[in-house]
Amino acid sequence: MLKARVANGSLTRLHRGVYAVGHRQLRREGHYLAAVLAVGPGAVLSHRDAACLYGLRPGDHRQTDVSTARRVKSTARIRVHRTTVLTPADVTRLGAVPVTSLARTLVDLACLVPRDHLAKALAEAERIHRVDVRGIEGALERLRHRAGPGNARLADVLAQHRAHGLELTRRELEQRFLALFDGAWRDLPRPHTNAIVDGLEVDAVWHAARVAVELDGWEFHRHRRAFQRDREKANALTAAGWTVLRFTHHDVVHRPAAVRAQLRRVVARS
């Protein structure tokens, strides 16, 4: 029966045991699902093709990357990656396709691509997804015994991104900023936070000195619309007689003394 349907064209063989009904003109997701089904239960799309499905980079059109805990051989069209670590935190679904999580995909990708390609993929992940840095670090920890330079390469890329403010949430960044006015640094009074100034919300403000501060974390200032809005706000406040200072995540976390020194001068002068 199966051979007859293949012979008359009602079924088209994609992989051993996997067929398309009527034709093989499938969308990319269909081909990915077919490859995963061919590898068997528990298999997931991974590595370069998982990154492609997430929109991070082009896929490999010669072989499809699939990971599994089972002993399955690669074929001319499927590259099988055997892994002993594939926890529930490492897998998800995009549409109908079982795929490694975004964090696990980046960890796997680090084993296959150069550092600059990996950095570009991580930047793209941050642009179109909400990246969980701690999730990536958790995936790295689960695969800490894996051989090769991939884990160290990704850890290095993460360290570079972390230095530019791609880890803290807005709330965490505000709390870190307010810590600059506690303890031994109480000579500069705490500002009011999330205050309304001339109809505009600012992150921190000294009303008497007419000094406003905006905190520029990448996660919430990375889009073109936000970039434009921030400049319009700063211009409006300056025109109204306010001194506006902007500090990045890197400033607050890695240059706190310089931030305080500048604030002390500006607040005292005003």
Q: Worst-scoring range by mean pLDDT, 14-23, 152-161, 192-201, 237-246?
A: 14-23
pTM exceeds 0.75 for this model: no
Residue 66: is its pLDDT beyond 90?
A: yes
Q: Worst-scoring range by mean pLDDT, 25-34, 76-85, 100-109, 116-125?
A: 25-34
pLDDT in tens, 210-223: 999 998 765 554 55
Question: Could you give the CA distance from residue 22 to residue 4 in angstroms, rounded to a whole number?
Answer: 13
The domain defined by 170-269 folds into Endonuclease; Chain A (3.40.960)
Residue ranges of the chain that CATH labels 3.40.960.10: 170-269
- The Cα-based distances of 151 to 119, 137, 189, 248 in angstroms read 13, 10, 44, 28
Contacts of 269 (CB under 8 A, 6+ apart): none
- The Cα-based distances of 7 to 2, 12, 258 in angstroms read 9, 9, 76
> Among residues 156, 190, 187, which one has the least CA distance to residue 174?
190
> Hey, what amino acid is at 64?
T
Alpha helices in 45-86 (DSSP H): 47-53
